[in-house]
C-alpha cells in the first residue's frame, strides 16, 4: 500500500467539485459533488440517532440498492429536525443532482451538515449544485474537501495505491468531523472512492468490518449526531478480478486497505476534535471479552475527568482506573496495570513510584498512549480520543444557533 | 414536614464532631465522626464501581448487618486503589473508632474521600479520630459537615420534623459532592440520621426507593466514583410505632420524608457541581416506559454539547433533540416537543418561532427547566444537572495528583 496524492479523485473515473453557494455565513465553500463517471457499487453506514436528519432517511434508501454514482453534500445547515419540509428539500437536492448529471435519482446520496433545526436555503443550495455540476473535474477535490467542512480546522483526506493480483487499484477518502463524534454508527461525514471491482454486498461487509476498527473506535464528546454518514463507491475501472465474495483471494487485502484509510481518517477527525490539544490512544488488553476491551477503553476515552486531566498534563491515574471500574467491563484492581506514554504508573492496582521527570515529559507530548492491562483474559481494543480543553467549552458555548 | 435547624444532630441521640488532623494540605477539617448514642437500625447503598475503595469494601460488610452506631470519615485522601495496605488502614480506622466509643467493630461505617491512589497518613488519621471522639457533641455537626468536604464550595445539609401517628420524628442529612457525580449507585458521600423507629430491612427498602428518585437522578460529569456511600441510621428514640413492614400506616410518610431529604441533598450537590453556573432540571414526559424516560433525560443531562450550550446561554434545541435521539429511548421527531424555561421551542419536531426576548431571559436565569414531551407513552422522569463551564475544565485540569 503506497500513499498517493489526489484524494477522492485519485481513483480512476472520479471527479469532484466544491462551490460557494452562500449557505455559510463565512462565504466559504458549502456545496460539494463527488461523482463516478460510470455506475459504482456502493455501501454505506448511517447514524443510529432516532432524530436522523432528512438526507439520512433518503440516502439510507438509495444506498440500500447498492449502486450509486453521485454524492451531493451541503455544509452550513444540517437539514435535521426539519420535518416534512426537510424531506422535500433533501429530495429536491437529489432530483436536481440526478437531472444535471443525467443519472437516476436513486443513484444519488445526499448529506447535510451544520446547524440543526433550520431549513435549507434552497435558493442558494440549488444554484450551488448547478455550479458544482458544471465545475466537476479531477482537480475539484480540494474545493470539495472544504465544502463539507464545518468547525473543522483542516481538511481530512488520504489516498493509497495497492496491488490486487497484478492490478493497481486506488482508494481515496475524505472526512469531516470535529464535535459530536462518537461511535455506535457511521460517525460524521466520510466518503471513500475506489476504482476497485467489488460487488456491493461484499463491499458492505468490508465496510462494516472496517468501521468497527476505525470510526466506531473514536470519541470526542460522546454525542452522536443526526446526520452521520459514511459511504464507499467502487466503480471497478481498475479492472481487477471482481471481488464477489469474502473468500476471494483479494478480499483481505482490499479490506485491509479500506480499514487503513478509515483509521487514518478517523484519527484525523480526533486530531481536529473541538478544542483538542492532545491526541490520546487508549489501549486496553487482557480483557475478558472483545466487548469488555472496547467498553473499558471507551469509558476511559469518554471520561471528562480523564480528558481534563490530560489537558492539565496531570498523570491522574486514579481517574483512569475509576473509569475502567464503572465501565461495566470485568475488572479487578489487583490485576490491573497501567502505563502512560510507556511509563509504568500502576502495577497490580497500586501506584508505582514513577520516573517523575520521564512521566512529565510523556504527559507534555502532543500524542500520548495509555495502556491498560486488565490481567483477566486475552482480548484487546484501541480507542482514539482527545483531551478536553477550555477551547472545547468556548467553541461549544459560543457556537450559534 | 417542617424544616428545622440542627442538621444531622437534630434527631434525638445523635452527636458529631469534625477536626483538623492535617490530612488536607489546606489545614481544614478532615476527620468526622457521626454517632448514635444508642444502637441504630441501618441501611446503605454503595458505589458499583469495580475499583471500589477499601473503606467501601469494609462498610458494605458492616452495613449489611443492619445495625450501625458510628460513621467515621476522612477527607483529603480516598484510600482507593491502595491494595492490601488500604484495607489494613480502613480496618484500623474502624477498630480505633470502635475502641474509643466502646462499641462493636461491625457497628462502624468508614468512608474516605479525596485523591485516589495514595495511602492514608495514619499518623494523622488516628489522632484525628481520637480528637473527634473526645469532641462529640450535638453542636459538633457544623464541623463534621466541613470535615467531609473536598472540592465542595458549601456544606450540604438539611433537617426536617414530621409527625408519624401522633409522634414527632426528626430526620437530618448531609452530603458531599462536586465532581464525579453520576447515578447507578449511591453517589458521593451522604449520611442521614433519624430518631424514627424502623427496622433495618424496611429502612433499606425505603432507602432504595428514595435513592432512585434523588441521587440516581443527578449527573455532573457522568463519572462514578470509587468511594460513593450513602447510609441511613435510625435509632428509634422518637418512640413512634415501629415501622416493621411496608404496609405499616407510617411507612409511606417516612419514605416520602426520606425521599425529600435525599432530593434536597442531591440538588445541593448539583448546585455545587464543579464549575457549575446554572442548575438544570430536565423533565421527560410521554415516554414509552419508565426506563425510557430516565434514559432520555439522562442523555440530555449528560451531553457535553447540551451542557456547554447552557453555559453559553444558547437555546440550542437541536443538541437536546439529538441527545434524545441517541439515548436509545423510543422517540419520533414528529411527536417530540420541547420547552425551555416554560417557553415552547419545538413542537412536533419542528422549531417554533419563539418569543426571543422571553427565551433570552429564560436562558440567562440561574435555574432552568427543560421539558421534553416525547408524545409516545405515559411515563415521566426528572433529572437534575448543571452546565459545563470553563471552570469545570480549570478545576479538573489543575486538581492535583
CA-based diameter of chain A, in Å?
Answer: 69
Report d(CA B243, CA B200) in Å as an integer.
10
- DSSP one-letter code for A380: E
Higher pLDDT, B283 or B348: B283
pLDDT for residue B398: 64
Above pLDDT 70, what percent of chain A? 94
Report d(CA B306, CA B314) in Å as an integer.
9
CB B292: neighbour CB atoms within 10 A?
Answer: 22
CB A274: neighbour CB atoms within 10 A?
Answer: 27
Arithmetic mean of pLDDT over chain B = 91
Find out whether A42 and A163 touch, Cβ atoms under 8 Å: no
Categorize the per-residue pLDDT at A322 as very low, low, confident or very high, splitting at 50, 70 and 90: confident
Q: Is the pLDDT of residue A353 over 90?
A: no
Contact call for A223 and B326, based on CB within 8 A: yes
Report d(CA A160, CA A192) in Å as an integer.
11
Report d(CA A306, CA A322) in Å as an integer.
9
Report d(CA A206, CA A44) in Å as an integer.
11
Report d(CA B277, CA A15) in Å as an integer.
50
Higher pLDDT, B397 or B71: B71
Contact call for B51 and A304, based on CB within 8 A: no
Residue with cell 425505603: B206
Choose among B49, B184, B348: nearest Cβ to A322: B49
Residue in B with minimal Cα distance to A77: B318
pLDDT for residue A64: 97
Start and end residues for every CATH 3.60.70.12 domain found in chain B: 2-271
Report d(CA A250, CA B68) in Å as an integer.
69
pLDDT for residue A182: 43
Q: Is the pLDDT of residue B98 over 50?
A: yes
pLDDT for residue A272: 84
Report d(CA B115, CA B111) in Å as an integer.
13
Instruction: Decide yes or no: CATH 3.10.20.340 for domain A279-398.
Output: yes
Categorize the per-residue pLDDT at B119 as very low, low, confident or very high, splitting at 50, 70 and 90: very high
Categorize the per-residue pLDDT at A341 as very low, low, confident or very high, splitting at 50, 70 and 90: very high
pLDDT for residue B194: 98
**Chain B residues 10-69 with a CB less than 8 Å from chain A:** 47-52
pLDDT for residue B160: 97
Tell me, yes or no, if B180 comes closer than 8 A to chain A by beta carbon: yes
- Contacts of residue B211, Cβ cutoff 8 Å, sequence gap at least 6: B45, B186, B230, B262
pLDDT for residue A180: 46
Start and end residues for every CATH 3.10.20.340 domain found in chain B: 279-398
Contact call for A223 and B397, based on CB within 8 A: no
Alpha-carbon distances of A220 from A363, A389, B33, B295, rounded to whole Å: 19, 12, 42, 21
Rg (CA), chain B: 22
Alpha-carbon distances of A116 from A137, A302, A397, B139, B316, rounded to whole Å: 31, 24, 15, 55, 8
Which of A187, A226, A229, A259 is an active site residue? A187
Average pLDDT over residues A284-298: 96
Report d(CA B351, CA B346) in Å as an integer.
4
Contact call for B305 and A116, based on CB within 8 A: no
Residue with cell 444508642: B38
Q: Which of A54, A221, A386, A396 to mutate to test the interface with B (most CBs of B within 10 A)?
A: A396
Residue in A with minimal Cα distance to B274: A305
- Contacts of residue B394, Cβ cutoff 8 Å, sequence gap at least 6: A390, B275
Question: What is the CATH number that goes with domain A2-271?
Answer: 3.60.70.12
Lowest-confidence pick of A179-188, A338-347, B219-228: A179-188
Lowest-confidence pick of A26-30, A47-51, A313-317, B186-190: B186-190
Distance (Å) from the C-alpha of residue B192 to the closest C-alpha of chain A?
A: 25
Long-range contacts of B291-294 (CB under 8 A, 24+ apart): B291/B329, B292/B329, B292/B330, B292/B374, B292/B377, B292/B379, B293/B329, B293/B374, B293/B379, B293/B380, B293/B381, B294/B217, B294/B381, B294/B383
At residue A323, what are phi and psi to the nearest 5 degrees?
-65, -40
Residue in A with minimal Cα distance to B309: A397
Which grid cell sits at B231? 447510609
Average pLDDT over residues B290-318: 89
pLDDT for residue A365: 94
Report d(CA A392, CA A388) in Å as an integer.
6
- DSSP one-letter code for A220: S
Q: Which chain A residues have a beta carbon less than 8 Å from that of B221?
A: 303-305
Alpha-carbon distances of A385 from A219, A264, A368, B385, rounded to whole Å: 5, 13, 10, 25
- Contacts of residue A314, Cβ cutoff 8 Å, sequence gap at least 6: A363, B397, B398, B399, B400, B401
Residue with cell 492539565: A312
Report d(CA B203, CA B71) in Å as an integer.
17
Active-site positions of B? 187
Find out whether B55 and B228 touch, Cβ atoms under 8 Å: no
Q: Which chain A residues have a beta carbon less than 8 Å from that of B388?
A: 393
Residue A176 in marked binding region: yes
Q: pLDDT by residue (tens digit) across A132-181?
A: 999 999 999 999 999 999 878 899 999 999 999 999 999 999 999 765 44
Q: pLDDT by residue (tens digit) across B356-380?
A: 889 889 999 999 999 999 999 999 9
Tell me, yes or no, if A325 comes closer than 8 A to chain B by beta carbon: yes
Distance (Å) from the C-alpha of residue A163 to the closest C-alpha of chain B?
A: 40
Contact call for A305 and B396, based on CB within 8 A: yes
Residue B187 in marked binding region: yes
Categorize the per-residue pLDDT at B148 as very low, low, confident or very high, splitting at 50, 70 and 90: very high
Average pLDDT over residues B29-36: 98
pLDDT for residue B277: 87
Distance (Å) from the C-alpha of residue B360 to the closest C-alpha of chain A?
A: 12
Distance (Å) from the C-alpha of residue A105 to the closest C-alpha of chain B?
A: 26
Amino acid at each position: 500500500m503506497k500513499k498517493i496524492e489526489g484524494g477522492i479523485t485519485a481513483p480512476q473515473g472520479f471527479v469532484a467539485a466544491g462551490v460557494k453557494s452562500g449557505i455559510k455565513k463565512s462565504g466559504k465553500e458549502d456545496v460539494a459533488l463527488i461523482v463516478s463517471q460510470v455506475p459504482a457499487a456502493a455501501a454505506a453506514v448511517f447514524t443510529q440517532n432516532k432524530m436522523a436528519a432528512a438526507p439520512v432517511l433518503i440516502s439510507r434508501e438509495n444506498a440500500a440498492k447498492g449502486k450509486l454514482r453521485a454524492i451531493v453534500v451541503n455544509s452550513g445547515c444540517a437539514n435535521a429536525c426539519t420535518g416534512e419540509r426537510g424531506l422535500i428539500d433533501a429530495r429536491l437536492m437529489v432530483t436536481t443532482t440526478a437531472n444535471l448529471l443525467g443519472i437516476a435519482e436513486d443513484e444519488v446520496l445526499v448529506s447535510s451538515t451544520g446547524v440543526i433545526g433550520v431549513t435549507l436555503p434552497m435558493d442558494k443550495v440549488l444554484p450551488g449544485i448547478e455550479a458544482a455540476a458544471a465545475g466537476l473535474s479531477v482537480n475539484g477535490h480540494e474545493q470539495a474537501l472544504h465544502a463539507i467542512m464545518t468547525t473543522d480546522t483542516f481538511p481530512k483526506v488520504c489516498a493509497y495505491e495497492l496491488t490486487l493480483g497484478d492490478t493497481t487499484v486506488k482508494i481515496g477518502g475524505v472526512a469531516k468531523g470535529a464535535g459530536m463524534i462518537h461511535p455506535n454508527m457511521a460517525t460524521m461525514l466520510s466518503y471513500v472512492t475506489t476504482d476497485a471491482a467489488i460487488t456491493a454486498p461484499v463491499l458492505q461487509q468490508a465496510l462494516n468490518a472496517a468501521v468497527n476498527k476505525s470510526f466506531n473506535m473514536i470519541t470526542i464528546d460522546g454525542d452522536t449526531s443526526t446526520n452521520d454518514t459514511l459511504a464507499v463507491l467502487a466503480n471497478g475501472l481498475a479492472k481487477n478480478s471482481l471481488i464477489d465474495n469474502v473468500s476471494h483471494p483479494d478480499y483481505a487485502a482490499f479490506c485491509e486497505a479500506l480499514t487503513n484509510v478509515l483509521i487514518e481518517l478517523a484519527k484525523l477527525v480526533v486530531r481536529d476534535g473541538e478544542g483538542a490539544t492532545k491526541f490520546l490512544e487508549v489501549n486496553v488488553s487482557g480483557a475478558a471479552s472483545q466487548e469488555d476491551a472496547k467498553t473499558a477503553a471507551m469509558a476511559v476515552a469518554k471520561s471528562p475527568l480523564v480528558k481534563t486531566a490530560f489537558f492539565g498534563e496531570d498523570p491522574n491515574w486514579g481517574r483512569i482506573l475509576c473509569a475502567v471500574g464503572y465501565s461495566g467491563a470485568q475488572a479487578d484492581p489487583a490485576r490491573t496495570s497501567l502505563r502512560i506514554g510507556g511509563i509504568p504508573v500502576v502495577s497490580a492496582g497500586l501506584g508505582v513510584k514513577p520516573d517523575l521527570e520521564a512521566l512529565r515529559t510523556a504527559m507534555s507530548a502532543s500524542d500520548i498512549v495509555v495502556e491498560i492491562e486488565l490481567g483477566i483474559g486475552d482480548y484487546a481494543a484501541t480507542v482514539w480520543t482527545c483531551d478536553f480543553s477550555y477551547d472545547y467549552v468556548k467553541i461549544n458555548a459560543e457556537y450559534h444557533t
